[in-house]
């Protein structure tokens, strides 16, 4: 029996509209990692129909796939221009985010071959120390402007390191550092706000906000009230129930032992489906509004729950994710974050999309 993953596209659209209504600039949508695990092929068109025109992916391959779905959207790939990839960007009308002098050179050379100007975003390094043009590289661009010949710098951007903590002074410091560096590119638009950054106030909105996780109902600013609508519900049917005696163990390694007469329900969801192994003996599901504990180790395809205190029977559904116990809550139980829960959801569920 298949587990059911319900994805509320109406909630995703409502979340984007809420964020778009907060800014005087543009609200893009980040749909990398297959729209955070929820299916870009369905999520992105719903957002485009709602009015979103700019979409971010991480990898070129994601951007190419998205172009097949959204022929008219502005689509960017965050991870730069790998060697020999410029032709694919151009063929599919994609815009790279250039984060190194190597990226800049790859894109400048492509513009030269075509003898026309090509648009790009520039990623400036302001504290994350992952991707982005360093201060030293920006100095090179300032002193050697020919390196940008043929490149139209549409927008300069950076990525906040502590936006989920609104009182962290590094947010204001990073904004000031970014604005100072962005001044090297007069006329270019500016973007700093990811999902939590969008809640830091108007000063951080600038010309473009780039929400991702918040679109999918995650609470990206735990210190604040969660204004986003939940977007997922995950339920799995009980495959079998075993009545076991006190002292009987369950699952690999006998990691849980019954202390009383117990009823153990098995569902067909395991770590291959995104139910993390770290939830062993600590996770939970819900049966008819009553929590039931996950007992024993989560295995690849199966997990087990103690349903002794509820009238569950084979074929009944256990709820693993719902508005009351969403990815953020399951992430805490798994000692991770809701982002990882969503992006780990496997492909074996029956996915059902709700449009409103």
Q: Angle CA(161)–CA(120)–CA(176) in degrees, nearest 5?
A: 35
Distance (Å, rounded) from C-alpha 253 to C-alpha 39? 36
Residues in the chain: 356
Contact by Cβ (8 Å): 241, 254: no
Contact by Cβ (8 Å): 99, 71: no
Q: For 249, phi and psi rounded to 5 degrees?
A: -95, 165
Q: Name, in order, each residue with C-beta under 8 angstroms of 129's C-beta and a sequence gap of 6 or more.
A: none
State how far the alpha carbon of 346 is from the alpha carbons of 3, 54, 349, in Å.
Answer: 11, 27, 7
Q: Decide if 271 is catalytic.
A: no
**Closest alpha carbon to 103 in 76, 127, 67, 126:** 76
Distance (Å, rounded) from C-alpha 87 to C-alpha 47? 28
Task: Tell me the three state secondary structure of residue 52.
Answer: coil
Q: Name, in order, each residue with C-beta under 8 angstroms of 193's C-beta and a sequence gap of 6 or more.
A: 160, 163, 200, 204, 205, 206, 209, 210, 211
Contact by Cβ (8 Å): 199, 226: no
Contact by Cβ (8 Å): 56, 35: no
Catalytic residue among 32, 36, 271, 349: 32
Distance (Å, rounded) from C-alpha 29 to C-alpha 44? 8
Quote the DSSP letter at residue 42.
Answer: H
Task: Tell me the three state secondary structure of residue 66.
Answer: helix
Q: Decide if 313 is catalytic.
A: no
Catalytic residue among 189, 252, 271, 313: 252
Host H or E run for residue 267: strand 262-267
Q: Which residues are catalytic?
A: 32, 252
């Amino acid at each position: 029996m298949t587990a059911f993953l319900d994805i509320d596209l109406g909630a995703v659209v409502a979340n984007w509209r809420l964020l778009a209504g907060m800014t005087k600039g543009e609200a893009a949508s980040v749909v990398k990692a297959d729209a955070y695990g929820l299916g870009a092929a369905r999520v992105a068109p719903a957002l485009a129909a709602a009015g979103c025109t700019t979409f971010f992916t991480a990898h070129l391959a994601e951007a190419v796939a998205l172009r097949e779905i959204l022929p008219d959207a502005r689509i960017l790939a965050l991870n730069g221009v790998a060697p020999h990839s410029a032709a694919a960007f151009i063929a599919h009308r994609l815009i790279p985010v250039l984060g190194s002098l190597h990226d800049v050179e790859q894109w400048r050379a492509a513009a030269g071959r075509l003898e026309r100007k090509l648009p790009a975003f520039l990623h400036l390094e302001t504290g994350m120390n992952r991707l982005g043009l360093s201060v030293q590289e920006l100095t090179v661009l300032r002193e050697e402007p020919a390196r940008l010949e043929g490149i139209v710098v549409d927008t300069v951007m950076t990525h906040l390191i502590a936006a989920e903590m609104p009182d962290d002074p590094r947010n204001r410091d990073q904004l000031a550092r970014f604005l100072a560096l962005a001044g090297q590119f007069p006329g270019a638009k500016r973007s700093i706000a990811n999902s939590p950054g969008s809640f830091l106030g108007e000063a951080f909105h600038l010309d473009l906000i780039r929400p991702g996780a918040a679109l999918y109902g995650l609470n990206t600013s735990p210190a604040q009230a969660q204004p986003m609508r939940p977007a997922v519900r995950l339920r799995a049917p009980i495959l079998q129930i075993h009545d076991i005696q006190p002292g009987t163990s369950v699952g690999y390694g006998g990691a849980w032992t019954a202390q009383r007469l117990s009823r153990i329900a098995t569902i067909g969801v395991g770590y291959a489906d995104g139910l993390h192994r770290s939830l062993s003996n600590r996770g939970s599901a819900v049966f008819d509004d009553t929590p039931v504990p996950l007992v024993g180790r989560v295995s690849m395809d199966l997990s087990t729950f103690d349903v002794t205190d509820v009238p569950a029977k084979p074929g009944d559904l256990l709820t693993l994710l719902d508005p009351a116990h969403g990815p953020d809550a399951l992430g805490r139980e798994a000692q991770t974050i809701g982002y990882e829960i969503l992006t780990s959801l496997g492909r074996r569920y029956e996915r059902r999309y709700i449009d409103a």
